[in-house]
Structure 1
C-alpha cells in the first residue's frame, strides 16, 4: 500500500507493515493544548492474552502524553484487530514497531520520538530501543521473568519504569532484580497496592507519567 501522510485530524489509519497493513490510531492534542514537536508511539500488551491498542493502560498513557502536547500513535501488532499477519512471539512485532517508527520519522522529521509500552509492549519497545534510539522511553510493567530480558541492550535515553507492587502477572521482584542486576539507568516508580492492569489506579498512573515526563518535554517549535 502507499504510505499515508501524517493526518491533520485524529482518527484511524492503515500503515504499511512487514506482514501487511497495520491498524493504527493517530491522535493529536486537544485544541486547548499547545502541540509540541514530539510523537509518542505506544505499544500494547500480549495479543494472545487479549491485548490490543485499545487496552485502558495504553490509552491512558497515550492520553496523558497528548495532554502534554504530543501526537500519539497506537497500533495493533500483526494478527491483532484488523492488522494483517499472525502473532510472531515478539520477533515480528519488533519489525512492526520499526515500520511504524520509520513512518513517523519520515512524516514528522525533526520531531522527537518517544516510545512507550505496557507489559508485552514494554518488552517489544525495549528490545527495539537500541536500533530505534528514541529520545524518551516509558516502560509500564515490563514482563521481566516472562521474556528474555538478559539480551536487551539497555537504553541510554531518559527512561521511566512503572511497576505495580501487587502485579499478579508480572513478578515485581523480577523487575526490580533485573533493573538492579543490569545496572539500568532508569527511574523506577513502584506503585503500592497496584495490580497489573492498574485497576482503580489509572489516575495515579496518569499522574506518575505526567510528573516524570514534564521535565523531558521538547521546546515548542520556533
Structure 2
C-alpha cells in the first residue's frame, strides 16, 4: 500500500486529506471520519488510522481527512452540521476518482455521529460507527442508514456508556450488527489489534 497527501475542495475551503491506495485496483473506497475537532480529533487519530489500515489491507482505497478548522483544513468547528457538508464533499470527490466501486463510510466517536448524519445523502454501501457518542449528540433525530451497518463499542467506555448505546440501539428500526468489546475503553487504548480483528471478522469473514 501507499499513502499520499492531497487537498480536497470543501464547502468552507480546502480540506487536508490523505489517500491510502492498495497496490492493485481497489475493491472499494472508504472514507473514515475523525473524533471531535475541539478535543484533539484529527485524521492522525490512532483509531482512525487503524480503521483505515485494516480496510486498506483488505484491498480498499481509504480517505482520511480533517474536518473544517482542523490542521490545514479551512473553516471553523460547526457542531456536526458543517462537518457533514465536509464529509459529503469528500464522498463526492472519491466517487469521482473511483467510479463504479462501492463506497463505505466509517467514523469514530464524533466522526461516527457525522457519518450517520451524512449517510442518507451519501448513500454508502456500508456504514461503520465506532463508539458513537449517543449520550453527547442527538442521535435520536437521525434516520437509520439504508445499508448494512456495523457498530463497535467498548464495554468499558468511559465517555460513552455501553448501556446508553444499548438503549439507543433498542429503538432502532433497522438491524445493526453491534459488537460490544469487553475491557475496551473509548479510545481503544492497548486494544487496537482487537479492533482490527473485530473489523476483519465482521466485514470480511463472511464474504
Same fold at TM > 0.5: yes
Structure 2: distance between partners of 1:216 and 1:43? 25
Structure 2: distance between partners of 1:90 and 1:112? 25
Q: Which residue of 2 aligns with 1:5?
A: none
Is it true that 1:202 corresponds to 2:195 in the alignment?
no
Q: Which residue of 2 aligns with 1:82?
A: 72
Structure 1: distance between partners of 2:100 and 2:175? 26
Is it true that 1:28 corresponds to 2:21 in the alignment?
yes
2:36 aligned residue (43, 46, 53): 46
Q: Is the 8 A contact 1:115 1:137 kept in 2?
A: yes
1:83-120: CA deviation from partner (whole Å, max 9, x where unpaired): 00000010000000000001111111101000000000
What SS does the aligned partner of 1:110 have? coil
Structure 1: distance between partners of 2:97 and 2:184? 38
Structure 1: distance between partners of 2:41 and 2:134? 17
Q: Which residue of 1 aligns with 2:100?
A: 110
Is it true that 1:140 corresponds to 2:133 in the alignment?
no
Structure 2: distance between partners of 1:74 and 1:216? 26
Structure 2: distance between partners of 1:142 and 1:149? 9
What SS does the aligned partner of 1:27 have? strand
Q: TM-score, normalised by structure 1?
A: 0.90
1:158-204: CA deviation from partner (whole Å, max 9, x where unpaired): 11100001001112111111111123311000001100000111000
The CA RMSD over aligned residues, in Å, is 1.5
Q: CA deviation at 1:216?
A: 7.1
Structure 1: distance between partners of 2:67 and 2:174? 27
Structure 1: distance between partners of 2:155 and 2:25? 34
Q: Which residue of 1 aligns with 2:178?
A: 188
Q: Is the 8 A contact 1:156 1:185 kept in 2?
A: no
2:5 aligned residue (12, 33, 55): 12
Q: Which residue of 2 aligns with 1:174?
A: 164
What SS does the aligned partner of 1:150 have? helix
1:30-49: CA deviation from partner (whole Å, max 9, x where unpaired): x4xx5433000000000111
Structure 2: distance between partners of 1:74 and 1:145? 25
Higher alpha-carbon deviation: 106-115 or 15-24: 106-115
Unpaired segments ≥5 residues, structure 2: none
